[in-house]
């Protein structure tokens, strides 16, 4: 008798929390005596915003992700002071099953010399080199944040570092988890899905549909103003901010229902137009961010 394939419940509810996905992944690990998968997190040409966002996660905490579901083996920002020993652990992890997370774009100018992430046995290690060798061996690759996913601010004109997105750089499937920064739930939820069920359903740009399946405009708390033709003429005024330059209609994330900073607020609720920071054309294609 064929065993019925378990269906991931994420497709039954778009608002399921990342914590639920994490619990499912951890239960799978415990019930099947699986080993936790190793995790390499590289910060390339970026601002550390995604790592900071991840460390502020609440549902679940970053501690839960790193201790209960994965083994963080290497992060160049957190482990830089460990020197050769840290990079040796990075090299050792390449011979195991692991997930590679990259935040920040890949600087390619002068063979990557504008982004040094480590020094090993006296040699400077570029992010470009580390991403290439880890990207060839990783079971899954996640581009976390808009710079890693699409180039973002790091690749904005005139782009003196000749930065490119991770999918542009690696000749393999890369799951994009954009945002400037990416919401912790989008990252932990995607990793949990990989552990428990494999690659989630992705859209045409390689983004998980469970987090990027709707536009901000679809669920905006000011949508009723738009539907009734009530538009704000200046910041702070009640009404739809479309005429002020809001990019919600062309930006796909669930910010209105998920919210930020402990799920208490998001830009439009705080009287700021969406600037489309999770979009593939951010920032150059989204300017000016506010129209007056």
Of 39-48, 137-146, 185-194, 242-251, the least confident: 185-194
In this predicted model, which residue has the larger pLDDT, 52 or 10?
52
pLDDT of residue 19: 64
pLDDT of residue 18: 62
Report the percentage of the chain scoring pLDDT > 90.
75
pLDDT of residue 24: 75
pLDDT band at 16; cut points 50, 70, 90:
low
Q: Determine the average pLDDT of the residues in 263-289.
A: 94
pLDDT of residue 7: 38
User: Residue 3: is its pLDDT beyond 60?
Assistant: no
From first CA to last CA, the distance across the chain in angstroms is: 66
In this predicted model, which residue has the larger pLDDT, 119 or 69?
119
CB of 273 closer than 8 Å to CB of 234: no
Report the percentage of the chain scoring pLDDT > 70.
92
User: Residue 2: is its pLDDT beyond 70?
Assistant: no
Q: Determine the average pLDDT of the residues in 248-264.
A: 93
Give residue-wise pLDDT tens across range 88-97: 999 999 999 9
Supply angle C-alpha 242, 243, 244, rounded to 5. 90
Of 4-8, 112-116, 225-229, 240-244, the least confident: 4-8
User: Residue 237: is its pLDDT beyond 90?
Assistant: yes
User: Residue 248: is its pLDDT beyond 50?
Assistant: yes
Domains by residue range for the chain, with CATH: 10-210 (3.40.50.700), 216-286 (4.10.480.10)
Each residue of 148-183: b (16+ CB within 10 Å) or e?
A: bbbbbbbbbeeeebebbbbbbbbeeebbbbbbbbbb
The pTM (predicted TM-score) of the whole model is 0.90
Q: Quick one: DSSP state of residue 81?
A: G
The Cα–Cα gap between 177 and 185 comes to 10
pLDDT of residue 5: 37
Of 19-28, 46-55, 195-204, the least confident: 19-28
What integer best gives the mean pLDDT of the chain? 89
46: tokens are 């970026």
The Cα–Cα gap between 209 and 11 comes to 9
Phi-psi region of 83 (alpha: psi -120 to 50; beta: other; left: phi over 0): left
**How many CA atoms, within 13 angstroms, populate the side-chain half-sphere of residue 151?**
19
pLDDT band at 262; cut points 50, 70, 90:
confident
Show contacts of 74-79: CB within 8 Å, 24+ apart: 74/40, 74/41, 74/42, 75/40, 75/41, 75/42, 75/43, 75/51, 76/42, 76/43, 76/117, 76/118, 76/127, 76/130, 77/43, 77/48, 77/51, 78/51
Cα dihedral 67→92→130→145 (10° resolution)? -10
């Amino acid at each position: 008798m064929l065993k019925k394939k378990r269906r991931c419940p994420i497709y039954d509810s778009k608002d399921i929390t990342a914590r639920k996905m994490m619990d499912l992944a951890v239960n799978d690990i415990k019930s099947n005596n699986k080993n936790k998968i190793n995790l390499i997190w590289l910060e390339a040409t970026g601002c550390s915003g995604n790592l900071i966002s991840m460390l502020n996660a609440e549902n679940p905490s970053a501690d839960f992700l790193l201790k209960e579901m994965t083994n963080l083996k290497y992060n160049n920002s957190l482990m830089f002071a460990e020197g050769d020993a840290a990079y040796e652990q990075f090299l050792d992890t390449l011979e195991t099953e692991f997930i590679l997370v990259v935040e920040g774009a890949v600087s390619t100018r002068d063979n990557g010399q504008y982004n040094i992430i480590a020094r090993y046995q006296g040699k400077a290690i570029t992010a470009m080199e580390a991403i290439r060798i880890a990207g060839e061996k990783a079971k899954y690759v996640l581009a976390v944040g808009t710079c890693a996913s699409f180039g973002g601010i790091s690749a904005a004109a005139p782009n003196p570092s000749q930065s490119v997105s991770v999918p542009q750089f690696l000749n393999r499937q890369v799951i994009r988890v954009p945002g400037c920064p990416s919401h912790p739930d989008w990252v932990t939820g995607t990793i949990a899905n990989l552990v428990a069920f494999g690659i989630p359903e992705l859209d045409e740009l390689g983004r998980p549909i469970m987090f990027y399946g709707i536009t901000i405009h679809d669920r905006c708390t000011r949508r009723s103003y738009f539907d009734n033709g009530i538009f704000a003429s200046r910041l702070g005024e009640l009404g739809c901010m479309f005429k002020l330059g809001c990019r919600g209609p062309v930006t796909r994330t669930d910010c209105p229902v998920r919210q930020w900073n402990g799920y208490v607020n998001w830009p439009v609720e705080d009287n700021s137009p969406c600037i489309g920071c999770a979009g593939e054309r951010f920032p150059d294609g989204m300017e000016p961010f506010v129209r007056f």
